[in-house]
Chain A
Amino acid sequence: MKKIVYFVLPVLGTLLLNAGCQNKEVDPGATLKNDLLKKTTGPAVVGDRIEFAYAIGTLDGDLKDVRAEASITGGKGTGFSGFSWYTDRSTGVDKPVQTAADTVTNGAVSTATIIDVSKNKAVTLRYYYYPSEEGKGKDVSFRFSGTSSTGKEVAIQSPAYRISRMSMKRSLVLTDGAKAYVSLADMAVYSKAEVEQNNLASKIDFVYIYRPTLGSGNFAFGHALVAPSNADYLKDVSLPAGLPKTRTAIDKRVDVKDAQLRNTAGFDVYIDDVDLEQTTFPSAADYAYGLAVDQGAFVKTADGTYVAYVYVNAVNNTTKSMTISIKQIKLK
Chain B
Amino acid sequence: MKPKRFPLFLGLMALIGLLSCGKEPVDEAGLLITGRSQCYMTFFDLLGSDHRTVLVSGQTVIDTTALTVTAVAKFGTNMERVKPYCSVVTDAIVEPTMGIWTDYTQAQKYTVVSGNRQVRKTYTVTVTVQK
- Residues of A whose CB lies within 8 Å of any CB of B are 214-217, 219-221, 251-255, 282-285, 287, 289-290, 295
Contacts and interface: CB of A to CB of B under 8 A. Distances in A.
Contact of B131 (A217, A255, A287, A289): A217
15 contacts: A214-B76, A215-B76, A215-B130, A217-B130, A221-B76, A252-B50, A253-B50, A254-B51, A282-B81, A283-B81, A283-B101, A284-B49, A287-B76, A287-B78, A289-B76
Given A219-B74, A284-B78, 11 more contacts: A215-B75, A215-B76, A215-B131, A217-B75, A217-B130, A219-B130, A254-B52, A282-B81, A283-B81, A285-B80, A290-B76
A224 to B, nearest CB: 9
Contacts of B131: 215-217
Interface of B: 48-52, 74-76, 78, 80-81, 101, 103, 130-131
Given A219-B74, A285-B78, A252 B49 contact: yes
Contacts of A287: 76, 78
Contacts of B81: 282-285
A54 to B, nearest CB: 42
A163 B101 CA distance: 34
A68 to B, nearest CB: 43
Contact of A219 (B51, B75, B101, B103): B75
Contacts of A216: 131
What are the 6 tightest A-B residue pairs by CB atom distance, in nearest-first order? A219-B75, A285-B78, A283-B81, A283-B80, A254-B50, A252-B50
B4 to A, nearest CB: 38
Contacts of B103: 283
Contacts of B52: 254
Given A215-B130, A217-B131, A282-B101, A255 B76 contact: no
B130 A285 contact: no
A217 B33 CA distance: 48
Do most interface residues of chain A lie in helix, strand or loop, or is the interface mixed? Answer: strand
Given A215-B131, A282-B101, A284-B81, A221 B75 contact: yes
Contacts of A255: 50-51
Contacts of A214: 75-76
A221 B49 CA distance: 16
A160 B90 CA distance: 54
Given A215-B131, A217-B75, A219-B130, A285 B50 contact: no
A25 to B, nearest CB: 48
Nearest to B78: A285
Contacts of A253: 49-50
Contacts of B51: 254-255
Nearest to A218: B75
Contacts of B75: 214-215, 217, 219-221
Nearest to A254: B50
Contacts of A217: 75, 130-131
A31 to B, nearest CB: 58
A114 to B, nearest CB: 52
Nearest to B52: A254
A220 B54 CA distance: 13
Contacts of B74: 219
A254 B47 CA distance: 12
A212 to B, nearest CB: 13
Max chain B Cβ within 10 angstroms of own Cβ: one of A217, A251, A283:
A283
Contacts of A283: 78, 80-81, 101, 103
Nearest to A219: B75
Contacts of A221: 75-76
Contacts of A219: 74-76, 130
A251 B101 CA distance: 13
B86 to A, nearest CB: 21
Contacts of A282: 81, 101
A283 B131 CA distance: 21
